[in-house]
Amino acid sequence: MKPDATLAAGTRPFGLSQAARHTEEQPIGELIELALTNPDLISLAAGLVDQETLPNEVTRDIVSDLLSDPVAGKAALQYGPTRGDEKLRHLVYDHMAGLDGISPDLFPGNADQVVLTTGSQQGQHLLAEVLLDCGDIVIVGWPSYFVLTGALTAWQCEVRAVEMDDQGMIPQQLDDLLAALDKINQLHRVKIVYVQTFHQNPTGRTLAEPRRQELLDIVRKYSKHHKLLLLEDAAYRELTYSGPTPKSILSRDPDLEHTALLMTFSKPFSPGLRTGYALLPSDMVEPVLRAKGGRDFGSNYFSQKILARAMETGAYEKHVTALCARYAQKAERMNDGLAKLNRTVDLDLRVVQVHGGLYGWVELPESIRADPESDLFRIAVEEGVLYVPGTYCFPKDPARTVPMNTLRLSFGLAEPEEITEGLDRFARSLQRVCL
């Protein structure tokens, strides 16, 4: 019989790194576990993509065609360059230019400044690795993408937040924060300003057109000790169903001095292929490649070959068009359900109209808590619906108090009728709380 592992280990634990000791469990994992253990729950929590629209047939045909050519097939199964497949880098560079309605000849940077990554999240981590030291400051929106802010906390960076309204991050508040840090001689600690410019996770807000240039101008203004990086995350850009489609911030940085743009194939095509891409300032490319080479020698090369063929054959664009049509129906269900919710519960709710992405955002009256320990969360689970408490989405900013009255609703995975039923269940939950 094998000895008991706990006894064999004794009382001496492994000597974990500071980063490991500061890394907290992702709260979304608890919600997924709750959904899996209760199959009757309608989950409007996890930000997963629509299962039925995943490109199974397209990918099958591409893989079959790729492997039927022994030379191309073996090349795809070999190691690739750390920077990523050359053809795909050129294709995504032209794609980014096309999304902004700009000729590739006039778009900032070039394909050599594109690095293919393991999802856009790796792009965030690589830039953080090469720019941040313990105690440095990263500025984000209030609220923001909680996976990134959790990682920043684990790396012992200080996260400072800037208020948002329905037009996204408020430029004057960013200017005020940087000016205050400059006044107390702490501006040198600021390295990155992170902003999601299209259909932000968690609020679904898109940064308004005039604010894009304003944010870039502010970053330039306060690049006194070193260049500040405006990290533009456009993971949800291609999931636009209605409303304005402003150009990226990066397109306004002609010499590509202060902006890095992150995008991904996970949301518009397939998360299973685990491929994202980053367009970087020229002086950031080599540091990022050195860091990436030390991590993985390059992202999944087989996936890159699949995606290159999908893009060059037009299959990718066709898929995105069909996907957006599907999501537009779900977004309409979400908007209709939120409007009905507002009428049903007779409360002063603030909801963000969904124009793209995968999320709806609700701000309840301050007297109603929505955090995981609240009566509302407990009753919602009893009623059979799951949401993401907004408390997960606000970073640990020492200058701010996390509001307890917000929540995120995701419609990516749910069927249209489940979205409607889920919001009806949530309405009943609110009514019970208010009795």
pLDDT tens digits along 123-177: 999 999 999 999 999 999 999 999 999 999 889 999 999 999 999 999 999 999 9
Pick the closest to residue 373 from 360, 392, 359 (CA basis): 392
Above pLDDT 70, what percent of the chain? 98
Pick the closest to residue 274 from 35, 84, 110, 60 (CA basis): 84
Pick the closest to residue 106 from 247, 268, 231, 223 (CA basis): 247
Class of the domain covering 18-54+324-434: alpha beta
Q: Quote the CA–CA distance of 230 and 252 in Å, as a whole number.
A: 12
pLDDT of 105 > 70? The answer is yes
φ, ψ dihedrals at 262, nearest 5°: -110, 135
Q: 15: burial class by Cβ within 10 Å (0-12, 13-18, 19+)?
A: exposed
Is residue 232 within 8 A of residue 388, CB to CB? The reply is no
Beta bridge partners of 139: 160, 193
- DSSP letter at 120 equals H
User: Confidence class of residue 32 from pLDDT cuts 50, 70 and 90?
Assistant: confident
CATH number of 56-317: 3.40.640.10
Q: Quote the CA–CA distance of 391 and 109 in Å, as a whole number.
A: 38
pLDDT of 90 > 80? The answer is yes
Average model confidence (pLDDT) for the chain? 95
CA-based R_g, the chain, Å: 22
pTM of the predicted protein model: 0.94
What average pLDDT does the segment 76-95 reach?
98
For the stretch 179-200, pLDDT in tens is 999 999 999 999 999 999 999 9
Angle subtended at Cα 33 by Cα 28 and Cα 39, rounded to the nearest 5 degrees: 125
Which two structure tokens, joined as six digits, stand for 77?
A: 């199964």
Pick the closest to residue 84 from 111, 115, 109 (CA basis): 115
Span(s) in the chain for CATH 3.40.640.10:
56-317
Instruction: Provide the pLDDT for residue 34.
Output: 80
Span(s) in the chain for CATH 3.90.1150.10:
18-54+324-434
Q: Quote the CA–CA distance of 303 and 301 in Å, as a whole number.
A: 5
Residue by residue, DSSP assigns 226-276 as SPPEEEEE-TTTT-B-SS--PPPSGGG-TT-SSEEEEEESTTTT-GGG--E
pLDDT of 4 > 60? The answer is no
Is residue 240 within 8 A of residue 265, CB to CB? The reply is no
Which two structure tokens, joined as six digits, stand for 36?
A: 């899996």
Angle subtended at Cα 413 by Cα 348 and Cα 322, rounded to the nearest 5 degrees: 105
Which residue is listed with tokens 């009256």? 365
Q: How far apart, in Å, are the Cα atoms of 108 and each of 198, 207, 256?
A: 19, 20, 6
- Strand 385-386 vs strand 168-169: parallel, antiparallel, or unpaired? unpaired
Q: How far apart, in Å, are the Cα atoms of 238 and each of 70, 89, 261, 311, 320?
A: 34, 18, 14, 14, 7
Other CB atoms within a 10 A radius of the CB of residue 154 amount to 16
What average pLDDT does the segment 83-103 reach?
99
